[in-house]
Amino acid sequence: MLLRIAFGTFAYMAAVFPLAYVWHLVLFREKLEGAGYLGRAEPLVPLGFLAILLQGIIVSVVFERLRPGAGAAADALVVCVPMMALIWSAQVLAHAAKFDVRLATFIGIETAYFVLQAGLVWIAFALVGYLAPR
């Protein structure tokens, strides 16, 4: 069980951290700064890494505990997509509710990011399910 959680955490990190870094700090940095989302001249990348690590551990534990046994890809879909929706609601909707951002730009860019992230996490956890079955 612990090995599968470790695999899941690594898979989550491998899918999400590079995407998050490139998406937010390279591809859409100027648009996100213009939308009022990025407020630091130099973001604290280690803190972002820690946040993604913790998310990976949590999603991996939930995946390990709740996967229904319908097959690797189906289990990943059933567990990971709702988890990504939860993270999206906390990071996008809650942020937009609390901070003065350009709503359409911010919600559009971040929703596209989370759709892509959910797809990558689904693939990553499907692979974990195939490579480290119960």
Handedness of CA 17, 21, 22, 28 (dihedral sign): positive
pTM above 0.85, yes or no: yes
pLDDT tens readout for residues 98-120: 999 999 999 999 999 999 999 99
Structure tokens at 26: 């390279």
Cα–Cα distance for residue pair 43/54, rounded to 1 Å: 18
Distances (CA, A) of 67 to 7, 47, 125: 15, 29, 11
Cα–Cα distance for residue pair 114/117, rounded to 1 Å: 5
Q: Tell me, what's the pLDDT at 38?
A: 82
DSSP conformation class of 28 = S
pLDDT tens readout for residues 68-89: 888 889 999 988 889 889 999 9
Distances (CA, A) of 61 to 15, 93, 101: 17, 25, 33
